[in-house]
């Protein structure tokens, strides 16, 4: 069964450094998402992406964040200058509503630790 993959599984970085989190969505999916989950809290929406542009973003997704689909398979989240409060689990998800199914399929997540 196709699945969303994410790399790395765990990233440790120093405050102020740039990080890039990578995702490979399911191949026939057209909509891509990033969510984050601070430890012990609920999952929060960051951004959605369709047709090579951002569809929607939350107030969390400020100028420090950017997303890109650099090729036909990868979908990346960049945090320009990490802060301690960016420490969280970051989930990528994808969907293809055109098939009649609105489920979003999640990757296993990247645990980001900012020290």
- Catalog residues that contact another protein under the rule CB under 8 A: 31, 33, 35, 37, 41-45, 48-50, 55-56, 58, 89, 91, 93, 95, 97, 102-106, 108-109, 111
Shortest distance, position 85 Cβ to another protein, whole Å = 19
Count CA atoms closer than 13 A to 97's CA, side-chain side. Answer: 4
Task: Please say which residue, 10 or 15, places its beta carbon nearer to another protein.
Answer: 10
Task: Please say which residue, 3 or 18, places its beta carbon nearer to another protein.
Answer: 3
């Amino acid at each position: 069964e196709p699945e969303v993959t994410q790399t790395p599984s765990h990233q440790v970085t120093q405050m102020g450094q740039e990080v890039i989190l990578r995702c490979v969505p399911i191949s026939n999916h057209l909509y891509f998402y990033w969510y984050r989950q601070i430890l012990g809290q609920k999952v929060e929406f960051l951004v959605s992406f369709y047709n090579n542009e951002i569809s929607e973003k939350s107030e969390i997704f400020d100028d420090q964040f950017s997303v890109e689909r650099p090729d036909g398979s990868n979908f990346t989240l960049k945090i320009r200058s990490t802060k301690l409060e960016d420490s969280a689990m970051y989930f990528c998800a994808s969907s293809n509503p055109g098939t009649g199914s609105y489920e979003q399929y999640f990757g296993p997540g990247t645990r980001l630790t900012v020290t």
